[in-house]
Amino acid sequence: MPAYDHNNIFAKILRGELPCHKVFEDDKCLAFLDIMPRAPGHTLVLPKTPARNILDIAPDDLGYVMQVVQKIAKASVRVFGADGITIQQFNESAGGQVVLHLHVHVIPRREGVAMKPPASFKEAPEVLAEQARKLSAALAG
């Protein structure tokens, strides 16, 4: 397996070198809104540990990421009035992974509304900021 690239875009976000619309952070995980969402509230959940994907992350770290994914999914149903949640996670280029830092997509879904195609639409920063505020508030209490 190739080595982890400490200069990937998510590593830069984790170090604070690039901005994001954060919805959750603790000492092990960061969750923020995707700037090219497939649906309103599309959130990415990342471990802070440098892991390319599911093939090289420690099982305990992966388990914690999934706990955060579940927490975000439950809050997303409330905040975005979702009828369901799509969870996506890709591994290596052949598996569809674009950024080689483990991340899980949490996408709130509405009955009868198709997801936008991947990377087809960049959401306005003010819309993302408001969605992040609402989701963060729901997660906080």
Q: Tell me which of 21, 42, 101, 103 is the catalytic residue.
A: 103
In the chain, what is the straight-line distance between the N-terminal and C-terminal CA atoms, in Å?
41
For the purposes of burial, counting CB atoms within 10 Å of the CB of 79, is it exposed (0-12), middle (13-18) or buried (19 or more)?
A: buried
Per the structure block, which two tokens stand in for 127?
């819309």
> Who contacts 10 (Cβ-Cβ below 8 Å, separation ≥6)?
44, 46, 99, 101, 103
21 is catalytic: no
25: number of Cβ within 10 Å: 16
Report the catalytic residues.
103
